[in-house]
Structure 1
Amino acid sequence: MTTLQSIPEAALDQLFRKARTVHAFKPVPITDELIHKLYDLLKWGPTAFNAQPARYVFVRSEEAKAKLKPAVSAGNTAQTLAAGVTVIVAHDSRFYEHLPSLFPAYDAKPFFEKSAEAAQATAFRNSSLQGAYLILAARALGLDAGPQSGFNADLVDKAFFPDGRYRANFLVNLGVADHAGTFERGPRLAFDDVAEIV
């Protein structure tokens, strides 16, 4: 019988049980080295056809934050400006151009070239997955994360992706939490409320 090898309980706590969505950050800088380490970890998460459609803009400088600010909802502005870095998780609408090298098993590129609907659905779904991998990778490296959809995607696209190829999916604030601004943990639905084994 195969024995499953789980990661330690402390790691499970750090990734899931004790991790929180952060709404306030301490003024701790996020280095280039840590950003590269983060990407080098999250990139291993699986995507359909190994397509890796997500694209990331790490908004860290004051100038870049000022560019992002008009697109962020009023309730999210303070935490976004305070975060060590805010990641724009976007997707590449022409991700399939990389498939010949990323997915050499067979030629999947023509399928997406011929179907804008399939390309959009695949890009959005898998960039969402990759954004989730980013959150878990950040937590694994000791960072706190505050993902948000409270922003104007059209304004982000105009400011950061004016050629229209990339499109914003969601934002993730990263840094070191100031838990004075952390809300009480919300409840979670029980297994029987959301799942069944058939």
Structure 2
Amino acid sequence: MALVLDPTAQDLLFREARTANSFTDEPVTEEQVQAIYDLVKYGPTAYNQSPLRVTLLRSPEARERLVAHMAGPNQPKTRTAPLTAILSAETDFHERLPELFPQVPQLKDAVFGDPSARESAGTFNAALQAGYFIVGIRAAGLAAGPMTGFDAAGLNKEFFADSGQRALMVVNIGKPGPDAYRPRNPRLAFEDAVTTL
């Protein structure tokens, strides 16, 4: 068998998992979100940097502030999902590197001294972490509805004006509701995506 992970777990994380567009009203607990984060924080990133920030919107007031910046089709599902998270990249993540990576304190300035390179690295690695976060949601037996259809400038001003965070995506989280899934679109076959030299 080529994969060590059992077929049920493979289906849960990948084959049967899809982007959910509707959810039941069953709440998503703080304990579930913490368990998800505590699992996926170990996903690999360059230099073990951790630029991903997760902003959970639980109150109706916070949710409405977000809905105002979502694209039209994304507004109703964002308004009614049990939990919505804004996943963002922290542009000043390098300030935590000596704490997280104490054996090479000079890394902070040597690698991340250039603001442009730092922002690029932070965005890339936060996007990796966002992918792990979505798989972690699936591992918790929940469904994820990741979306990039929003006014990024407006959302950043609304939620992150006084910070170095920049929104990457919005993710609705919960148990899938009726007709939650659209038909699965095809994926490239191995021979179309993989080249051996």
> What's the TM-score once normalised by structure 2's chain length?
0.94
Q: Is the 8 A contact 1:96 1:112 kept in 2?
A: no
Extract unaligned runs of 5+ from structure 1.
Answer: none
Cα-to-partner distance string for 1:100-124 (whole Å, 9 max, x where unaligned): 1212232210035521121011100
C-alpha deviation, 1:98, in angstroms: 0.6
Runs of 4+ in structure 1 displaced over 4 angstroms?
none
Q: Supply the distance in 1 between the matched residues of 2:91 and 2:185 (Cα, whole angstroms).
A: 35
SS at match of 2:175: strand
Match of 2:148 in 1: 149
Match of 2:85 in 1: 87
Mean Cα displacement is larger for which, 187-196 or 133-142? 187-196
> What does 1:1-198 align with in structure 2 at a 5 Å threshold?
6-106=4-104, 107-198=106-197
Q: Supply the distance in 2 between the matched residues of 1:102 and 1:114 (Cα, whole angstroms).
A: 17
Q: Supply the distance in 1 between the matched residues of 2:15 and 2:2 (Cα, whole angstroms).
A: 20
C-alpha deviation, 1:26, in angstroms: 1.1
Q: Supply the distance in 2 between the matched residues of 1:85 and 1:67 (Cα, whole angstroms).
A: 14
Extract unaligned runs of 5+ from structure 2.
Answer: none
Name the aligned partner's letter for residue 42 of structure 1. Answer: V
Identity, % of aligned positions: 37
Name the aligned partner's letter for residue 16 of structure 2. Answer: K
C-alpha deviation, 1:4, in angstroms: 7.3
How many residues were matched structurally?
196
Q: Supply the distance in 2 between the matched residues of 1:179 and 1:186 (Cα, whole angstroms).
A: 19
Q: Supply the distance in 2 between the matched residues of 1:27 and 1:98 (Cα, whole angstroms).
A: 37
- Alignment RMSD: 1.5
Q: Supply the distance in 2 between the matched residues of 1:20 and 1:88 (Cα, whole angstroms).
A: 19
SS at match of 1:45: coil
C-alpha deviation, 1:50, in angstroms: 0.9
Q: Supply the distance in 1 between the matched residues of 2:38 and 2:125 (Cα, whole angstroms).
A: 17
SS at match of 2:86: strand
Q: Supply the distance in 1 between the matched residues of 2:81 and 2:39 (Cα, whole angstroms).
A: 21
Mean Cα displacement is larger for which, 23-32 or 138-147? 23-32
Q: Supply the distance in 1 between the matched residues of 2:110 and 2:168 (Cα, whole angstroms).
A: 23
> What's the TM-score once normalised by structure 1's chain length?
0.94
Q: Is the 8 A contact 1:157 1:164 kept in 2?
A: no
